[in-house]
Amino acid sequence: MKSMLESYLTLEQTALLAATLAAQTRASGSLEAPLVARTLVERGCRNVLDVGTGEGSFLLEVAGRVPRARFLGIEHNAFAVRRAEARLRRSPRRNVRFETAFFDGAFARTRHDAVLTRYTLQHSSRPEGFLRAVFQRLERGGTFIALESVESGMDCHVPDPVWQEYRTALLAVHEKIGSDADIGKALGGMLRRTGFRQVRVEFVITSPATVGFERFRAVVLTTAALAHTLFPALLRRRLLARMETWLRDRTGIERRDPYVVTALASATRP
Ligand SMILES: C[S@@+](CC[C@H](N)C(=O)[O-])C[C@H]1O[C@@H](n2cnc3c(N)ncnc32)[C@H](O)[C@@H]1O
């Protein structure tokens, strides 16, 4: 069965998701985009496919740092592609284009020297098939870069009941929508089994200390609001209100420094 993000989303759902993704780009993306760009530059990648590009903000951040490469962002949700194209018109970049397409084994056989995917493999109902399809679309020596959640790794140096309750609610939402909240932990082994080599996995920590309080606050609030709107029984109004109050205590939060974890994997097709 397809996961929620492999299926049809309404215009309103897409708009809510887009606000969360844009906040994620400003927060975690401010750490991840330079790391992705560095790998693409080091490996001389010129022709990059981004699978599940969403509303395009993350790809545009990466593309701005690698002007010599061409980027194609594909996304099966036509509403999201429309938003990505509007974003591109507002900040024109000649090295980026977007297309509406579903990525699986039947997707165009053109080969790329890099494939990127961020928070998309976790939504695949057939992750091994997804990775085989990525492998087949890479040139020999080509690079795969994946950024995926490690949601159970969300934590805080000092136990924080609000943050713990939020993590529990997010894990329940992942289960409900058919996504693998912790696929980041499995990336290394999955890439190796698919046939990739030079596999590297690192964890990126997003917290007030690493991205700044305002970006952290914005991404937490938009994600919590999205989860509450879509699944009010899983992230209840009471928790949302508690989080809003919690996020007003800037000094306390900066002192405790709660964090979320993303796995950043890179690998080569031999
Ligand atoms: C959580 S969003 C991440 C978007 C973007 N990569 C980012 O980091 O902001 C995942 C996106 O992948 C899209 N998606 C999921 N499976 C896909 C597939 N097989 N082919 C194309 N798009 C897919 C969804 O529609 C959604 O927009």
Band (pLDDT 50/70/90 cuts) for residue 80 is: very high
The pLDDT value given to residue 102:
97
Q: Whole-angstrom Cα distance, residue 172 to residue 170?
A: 5
CB of 217 closer than 6 angstroms to any ligand 1 atom? no
User: What's the whole-number mean pLDDT along residues 209-226?
Assistant: 98
CB of 148 closer than 6 angstroms to any ligand 1 atom? no
Q: Which atom of ligand 1 is nearest to the CA of 22?
A: 9
Give the residue, by CA position, lying nearest to ligand 1 atom 15: 6
User: Tens digit of pLDDT for each residue in 119-165?
Assistant: 999 999 999 999 999 999 999 999 999 999 999 999 999 999 999 99
CB of 53 closer than 6 angstroms to any ligand 1 atom? yes
CA of 50 to the centre of ligand 1 (A): 9
Give the residue, by CA position, lying nearest to ligand 1 atom 19: 103
Task: Give the chain's domains with CATH numbers.
Answer: 4-152+179-207+259-268 (3.40.50.150)
Q: Whole-angstrom Cα distance, residue 74 to residue 59?
A: 10
The pLDDT value given to residue 42:
97
pTM over 0.95: yes
Give the residue, by CA position, lying nearest to ligand 1 atom 9: 21
Mutate to test the pocket of ligand 1, among 10, 31, 75 (most ligand atoms within 8 A of CB): 75
Q: Are 57 and 86 in contact (CB under 8 A)?
A: no
CA of 203 to the centre of ligand 1 (A): 21
CB of 113 closer than 6 angstroms to any ligand 1 atom? no
CA of 253 to the centre of ligand 1 (A): 31
CA 37-39-43 angle, 5° bins: 120
User: What's the whole-number mean pLDDT along residues 237-259?
Assistant: 97
User: Tens digit of pLDDT for each residue in 95-131?
Assistant: 999 999 999 999 998 999 999 999 999 999 999 999 9
The pLDDT value given to residue 213:
98
Question: What are the backbone angles phi and psi of residue 112, rounded to the nearest 5°?
Answer: -125, 155
User: What's the whole-number mean pLDDT along residues 186-211?
Assistant: 98
What Rg do the C-alpha atoms of the chain give, in angstroms?
18
Residue 232: Cβ-neighbour burial (10 angstroms; 0-12, 13-18, 19+): exposed
The pLDDT value given to residue 137:
97
User: Tens digit of pLDDT for each residue in 15-46?
Assistant: 999 999 999 999 999 999 999 999 999 999 99
User: Tens digit of pLDDT for each residue in 234-243?
Assistant: 999 999 999 9
Q: Whole-angstrom Cα distance, residue 208 to residue 256?
A: 9
Q: Are 245 and 162 in contact (CB under 8 A)?
A: no
Q: Which atom of ligand 1 is nearest to the CA of 102?
A: 20
CB of 246 closer than 6 angstroms to any ligand 1 atom? no
Residue with tokens 């790809």: 59
CA of 252 to the centre of ligand 1 (A): 35
User: What's the whole-number mean pLDDT along residues 164-172?
Assistant: 98
Q: Are 268 and 141 in contact (CB under 8 A)?
A: yes
**DSSP at 200:** E
Residues sharing a CB contact under 8 Å with residue 193, sequence separation 6 or more, in sequence order = 128
Give the residue, by CA position, lying nearest to ligand 1 atom 1: 119
The pLDDT value given to residue 116:
98
CA of 251 to the centre of ligand 1 (A): 35
CB of 21 closer than 6 angstroms to any ligand 1 atom? yes
For the chain, percent of residues with pLDDT exceeding 90: 99
- What are the strands of the beta sheet with 47-51, ordered from one edge? 96-100, 70-75, 47-51, 112-118, 138-149, 260-268, 197-206
CB of 83 closer than 6 angstroms to any ligand 1 atom? no
**Tokens describing residue 157:** 């140096």
